[in-house]
A and B are shown apart, each in its own frame.
Chain A
Amino acid sequence: DAKTTQPNSMESNEEEPVHLPCNHSTISGTDYIHWYRQLPSQGPEYVIHGLTSNVNNRMASLAIAEDRKSSTLILHRATLRDAAVYYCILRLMDSNYQLIWGAGTKLIIKP
Chain B
Amino acid sequence: EAQVTQNPRYLITVTGKKLTVTCSQNMNHEYMSWYRQDPGLGLRQIYYSMNVEVTDKGDVPEGYKVSRKEKRNFPLILESPSPNQTSLYFCASTRGEGASEQYFGPGTRLTVT
| Chain A interface residues (CB < 8 Å from chain B) | 32, 34, 36, 41-46, 49, 87, 93, 96-99, 101-104
Contacts and interface: CB of A to CB of B under 8 A. Distances in A.
A96 B98 contact: no
Interface residues of B, number: 25
Interface in B82-113: 90, 92, 97-98, 100-107
A97 B106 contact: no
Contact of A87 (B42, B48, B92, B101): B42
A101 B42 contact: yes
B45 A49 contact: no
Interface in B40-71: 40-45, 48, 50, 56, 58-59
Contacts of B50: 96
26 contacts: A36-B102, A42-B106, A42-B107, A43-B92, A43-B105, A44-B43, A44-B92, A44-B102, A44-B104, A46-B100, A46-B102, A46-B103, A49-B100, A87-B42, A93-B98, A96-B50, A97-B97, A98-B48, A98-B59, A99-B43, A99-B45, A99-B102, A101-B43, A103-B40, A103-B41, A103-B42
